[in-house]
Amino acid sequence: MPISIPVRLRRLRQTEAVRAMLNETALTPANLVAPLFVHDSPKAEPVGSMPGVERVSLDGLVEKARRLHELGVKGVALFAKIPDDKKSSGGEEALNPHTLALRAIRRIKADVPGLVIFADIALDPYTTHGHDGVLTGDRADVDNDATLEVLAKMAVLSAAAGADFVAPSDMMDGRVAVIREALDEAGHTRTGILAYSAKFASAAYGPFRDAVGSSRKPGEKSLSKATYQLNPGNRREALREALADEAEGADMLMVKPAGDYLDIIRDLREATDAPIAAYQVSGEYARLQAAARLGWLDLRAARDESLLAIRRAGADFILTYFAEAWASDYHAR
């Protein structure tokens, strides 16, 4: 004889149709942005620590962009691998109007105009020391205000090349306000700012640094960015950083990494109506790939769950290296 249980929540999960009708969190290709790596070489090079990810030529970049656009992915974030002989302590190559990142923006904007382009604004791919800015005179830290001047010039160059949004990922104080002023003075009032607002000093960035060539060489001291990236234990400070960026004129706010900082995404979602992005970073991607290769989890199921969790926490869109594969599977369902 059935037990009398007035509230049986399983009734709301008993068929696929009911489950679909009551689904609270939707994820579509339009919620994804694909980070892409480009280099000045005719051949694609795999990134060893990121299975399935490559550095591609400009022609290969356009092919990837077209494919993503066809799949319904609306945006790409571009990252250039700069040859070592073009790097310097001050990162001067970042202000070369013909540098690879700017050529990449121009190519995609010309060949795939419907795709939203996010241009990375930081100096780490261009510096010999791998930091995101100009060093102080004693080389003990990053010089905040000197870095702002360079970032503002980078942003104007990126906007002139056709970037829809500039994305300062440096975590310098005041950079959003300085960049907004520089863009407006140059006539780029329609160019938006996606601020890496809550970017933590995470252990999960290693594969990305491999991809852009900013990782430490064997035998060199590990690179610490703790004086400008956030302390992973600081939840309140993350909110202060993000709200300060919004007050300075950021159009969108980002939390990075995403999966290990779902509480920060939710805090920010509850504190602002601004669009929120979350970056599922290289280390998050790599560890899912590695566990799957060892047979410890189902890659597709774990991938889908990780992306859904980021959306459920409150992100409007997600930067993820799974973008193309997830979108392909979405259309195959």
Alpha-carbon separation of residue 49 from 74, 211, 216, 298 (angstroms): 26, 8, 14, 19
For residue 196, the surrounding DSSP H or E stretch is: strand 192-199
Residue 140: per-residue pLDDT: 86
**Residues known to be catalytic:** 199, 256
Residue 320: per-residue pLDDT: 98
Residue 77: per-residue pLDDT: 98
To the question of pTM greater than 0.85 for the whole model, the response is yes
Read off the pLDDT of residues 49-108 as tens digits, 9 standing for 90 and up: 999 999 999 999 999 999 999 999 999 999 999 999 999 999 999 999 999 999 999 999
Closest Cα partner for 78 from 52, 45, 103? Answer: 103
Read off the pLDDT of residues 10-36 as tens digits, 9 standing for 90 and up: 999 999 999 999 999 999 999 999 999
For residue 273, the surrounding DSSP H or E stretch is: none
SS3 (DSSP) at 82: coil
* Burial label, 162 (beta-carbon count in 10 A; 0-12, 13-18, 19+): middle
Please tell me the number of Cα atoms within 13 Å of 30 on its side-chain side: 2
- Cβ atoms of 108 and 62 within 8 Å: the answer is yes
Residue 333: per-residue pLDDT: 86
Query: What residue spans define the domains of the chain?
Result: 28-332
Please state which CATH number belongs to domain 28-332: 3.20.20.70
Model confidence band, residue 1 (pLDDT cutoffs 50, 70, 90): confident
Read off the pLDDT of residues 316-333 as tens digits, 9 standing for 90 and up: 999 999 999 999 999 998
